[in-house]
Chain A
Amino acid sequence: MKRLLCAIIFLISGHVSAEIPSGESILKKVDANIGSDNKIVVSQMTIEGRRGTRTVKSKSWIQGREKSFTEYIAPAREKGTKMLKLDDQLWTYSPSTDRIIKISGHMLRQSVMGSDLSYEDMMEDPKLQNLYDAEVIGEDTLLGRPCWVLELTARKEGLAYHSRRIRVDKERFVVLREDRHAKSGKILKTTEVQEIIKVQNRWLPKSVVFKDVLKLGNGTRFVIESIEFDVSAPEHIFSKAALRK
């Protein structure tokens, strides 16, 4: 009788674990959904500060994980400002000074255009599976969608966030909510998806609210106005010379 009971428990537990995918496999699908060799994104950031709201519009050309070029289109004060990322280096061009300036050191932790995003966030490898070990720790429901709750722990020292807790849509593999933590466990940043769209057979977050928990204010709303995948960008755009053009 005991043996039969053990066999039943074993079978049940085996059945349940078969239904829960591994953290690694979920991350792989998340990265595959959002990743692409080439894409062009037009987006706008709405920054809610204590003195009012500002909207910054930009166009980005992204090639793989290593290269990206962003040009700010609006408002007038920001128009013409450009940013170039090549591997782990970042430059910015400001038309008012006609200078190409390297962003490095402590400046990487500063906010981008006063938003809740830092340059460090921009520089991060978008493929989470390259940076974190993942473990499924539960289930949840967000925006009416069933989600896996994953605990991500940094594989190496020096990352902007030591751990992250993400909620991933079980079917679409889109991260719907994220809490980013310091090594001490203190929460530093949160992201919350407000709207999802389907583009070229991929589910993408159209509208996301980023919140730097250490800053006062209501956060930054990031909205994708348009996105094109697998569009080749001219190679010359990923050069410092392109910043001045």
Chain B
Amino acid sequence: MIKFLAKGLLRDRSRSLFPTLTVMIGVMLTVFMYSYMNGVTNDFIRSGASFNTGHMKVMSRAYAGESDRSPNDLAYIGSQSLITDLKRDFPEIIWTPRIRFGGLLDIPDEKGETRAQSPVAGLGIDLFSTSGPEREILNLNKAVVRGRLPGRAGEILISNELSRRLGISLGETATLISSTMYGSMAAANFKVVGTVRFGISAMDRGAMLADISDIQRALDMDDAAGEILGFFGDQTYRGKETEEIVAAFNKRHQRDDEFSPVMVSLRDQNGLGETLDMFKYYSGILISVFVVVMSMILWNAGLMGSIRRYGEIGLRLAIGENKGHVYRTMILESLAIGLAGTIVGTALGVSISYFLQVKGINIGSMMRDASILMSVVIRARVTPVSFIIGFIPGLMATLLGASIAGIGIYKRQTSQLARELET
């Protein structure tokens, strides 16, 4: 019987090739759409966490209240001992201090007067320790465009775009003008030893990266840090675990002092929680609508196929084949077509998604003035779900299409078949 069905499918292309192609294209698009949305969400979380929020962040309560303006006058003093405590209490988390600062980077001429200047968005991080986490978190080795990473006091990195704008060469001096933690004017000379490009517009416009010890000295922030960021070792954000750590830390530091530390999760910063929920909600709707539409198309294809075979089914019934048997073979056929189309469609969808995961699509021209910390290269992300999501429209819709179309078989009157076949 199976041999008979297989022969029928292979010999009649309109029963096999075209329905399989329809299923394959539908499944491929579903898999790709899912992986693409997954990639965009993942990239949004990863970029935000690496450059701004961490998976969790410790600040002084006063700083946390105004964290959008990075108020270093409200930074946490005693950061070293706090990091020691954090490492002891939450050893599974990587803790790293940072200082964000704004200011003006001024390039001198031969007389020591202003030749060029530009506002900068600065980041003081642990740059010097080669085994420290920041090089990996910010992917610094890959981000370097020219020169090298700083290794000595007074050395800095600036964004490649900023270096071009300022017309500065490697090895030149740049003066940072900013404010100290206590409000005084801060001025410090640095040597530019490298330029970087992160692929994130907000950083690439005017970033300056220096070792945190240099920034502490320049901004009079001895043993102080604006933020202490926490990351899971595998760089994957886990919401529930984060909330548990945040609750445990804040329970231990319940004080009224506005300079006592407080921990916030990634979700609780810069409205990221709402953004992620919205993202999840809309991508869920998008994927659902897509799956439903594809299911309807495939279902319709199943119906069309069954209607086209009206005469064949009539003949099979006329020569004595049982109605139930005809119905079951039709469903079996649809399952075979659905399965073949789904497997090929999933393979193609996953392949395209994987290609996009590795290569990405550059949307830099659309994000030139964006302030959001998101990569300008959009990548898909293949997950285990990518391999199974196509089975919903691929198998279910063809099966449903054949099942509904096949009901007509039971309505055919055997006594009238001969007359139907004559016409």
- A interface residues (Cβ-Cβ under 8 A, vs B): 47, 49-52, 54, 56, 77-78, 81, 91-92, 94, 96-102, 104-107, 110-115, 240
A101-B183 in contact given A50-B62, A106-B119 (Cβ < 8 Å): no
Question: How far is the CB of A86 from the nearest CB of chain B, in Å?
Answer: 13
Inter-chain CA distance A101–B118, complex, in Å, is 12
**A residues near B83, Cβ cutoff 8 Å:** none
Contact of B183 among A49, A96, A100 (CB under 8 A): A49
**B residues near A99, Cβ cutoff 8 Å:** 106, 108, 112-113, 175, 187, 189
Question: How far is the CB of A100 from the nearest CB of chain B, in Å?
Answer: 5
B117 at the interface (CB under 8 A from A): yes
Do B183 and A50 have beta carbons less than 8 Å apart? Answer: no
Chain B window 164-203, contacts with chain A (Cβ cutoff 8 Å), 1 for yes, 0 for no: 0000000000010101111111011100000000000000
B208 at the interface (CB under 8 A from A): no
Closest 3 CB pairs of A and B: A114-B183, A94-B187, A102-B114
B220 at the interface (CB under 8 A from A): yes
Question: How far is the CB of B402 from the nearest CB of chain A, in Å?
Answer: 66
Inter-chain CA distance A49–B182, complex, in Å, is 8
Contact of B175 among A51, A78, A101 (CB under 8 A): A101
A114-B117 in contact given A94-B187, A97-B187, A99-B112 (Cβ < 8 Å): no
**B residues near A56, Cβ cutoff 8 Å:** 184
**A residues near B106, Cβ cutoff 8 Å:** 99, 101-102
Contact of A96 among B62, B179, B187, B258 (CB under 8 A): B187
Inter-chain CA distance A98–B106, complex, in Å, is 13
Do B179 and A114 have beta carbons less than 8 Å apart? Answer: yes
Question: B residues 111-155 with Cβ under 8 Å of A?
Answer: 112-114, 117, 119
Do A115 and B104 have beta carbons less than 8 Å apart? Answer: no
Inter-chain CA distance A49–B73, complex, in Å, is 9
Question: How far is the CB of B63 from the nearest CB of chain A, in Å?
Answer: 10
Contact of B74 among A50, A98, A111 (CB under 8 A): A50
**A residues near B113, Cβ cutoff 8 Å:** 99-100, 102, 240
Contact of A111 among B104, B179, B189 (CB under 8 A): B179
- 16 A-B contact pairs sorted by A residue (CB < 8 Å): A47-B183, A49-B73, A50-B62, A77-B220, A91-B114, A94-B187, A98-B112, A99-B187, A101-B106, A101-B175, A102-B114, A106-B119, A110-B179, A114-B182, A114-B185, A115-B183
**B residues near A240, Cβ cutoff 8 Å:** 113
Interface size class of B (residues with CB under 8 A): 20 to 34
Do B114 and A101 have beta carbons less than 8 Å apart? Answer: yes
**B residues near A77, Cβ cutoff 8 Å:** 180, 184, 220
> Which residue on B lies nearest to A98, using beta carbons?
B112
Inter-chain CA distance A197–B355, complex, in Å, is 78
Interface centre among A50, A78, A97, A102 (most CB of B within 10 A): A97
Inter-chain CA distance A54–B181, complex, in Å, is 12
A94-B182 in contact given A99-B175, A101-B117 (Cβ < 8 Å): no
Do A101 and B177 have beta carbons less than 8 Å apart? Answer: yes
Inter-chain CA distance A81–B185, complex, in Å, is 9
> Which residue on B lies nearest to A56, using beta carbons?
B184
Do B183 and A113 have beta carbons less than 8 Å apart? Answer: yes
Question: How far is the CB of B97 from the nearest CB of chain A, in Å?
Answer: 19
Do B185 and A113 have beta carbons less than 8 Å apart? Answer: yes
Question: How far is the CB of B107 from the nearest CB of chain A, in Å?
Answer: 10
A78-B114 in contact given A51-B73, A99-B106, A107-B177 (Cβ < 8 Å): no
Question: How far is the CB of B394 from the nearest CB of chain A, in Å?
Answer: 56
Question: B residues 49-81 with Cβ under 8 Å of A?
Answer: 62, 73-74
A111-B112 in contact given A97-B189, A99-B175, A101-B106 (Cβ < 8 Å): no
Inter-chain CA distance A81–B189, complex, in Å, is 15
**B residues near A111, Cβ cutoff 8 Å:** 179, 183
Interface centre among B108, B179, B184, B220 (most CB of A within 10 A): B184
A97-B182 in contact given A50-B62, A105-B119, A106-B119 (Cβ < 8 Å): no
**A residues near B259, Cβ cutoff 8 Å:** 51
Question: How far is the CB of A110 from the nearest CB of chain B, in Å?
Answer: 8
**B residues near A50, Cβ cutoff 8 Å:** 62, 73-74, 258
**B residues near A110, Cβ cutoff 8 Å:** 179
Inter-chain CA distance A227–B410, complex, in Å, is 109
Question: How far is the CB of A91 from the nearest CB of chain B, in Å?
Answer: 8
**A residues near B183, Cβ cutoff 8 Å:** 47, 49, 54, 111, 113-115
Inter-chain CA distance A114–B175, complex, in Å, is 19
**A residues near B180, Cβ cutoff 8 Å:** 77, 114
Interface centre among B112, B187, B258 (most CB of A within 10 A): B187
Contact of B184 among A100, A101, A105, A114 (CB under 8 A): A114
Q: A101-B114, A104-B117, A114-B179 are in contact. List 6 more A-B contacts (CB 8 A).
A: A77-B220, A92-B177, A94-B185, A97-B188, A99-B108, A107-B104
Do B187 and A102 have beta carbons less than 8 Å apart? Answer: no
Inter-chain CA distance A240–B114, complex, in Å, is 12
Inter-chain CA distance A94–B104, complex, in Å, is 14
> Which residue on A lies nearest to B112, using beta carbons?
A99
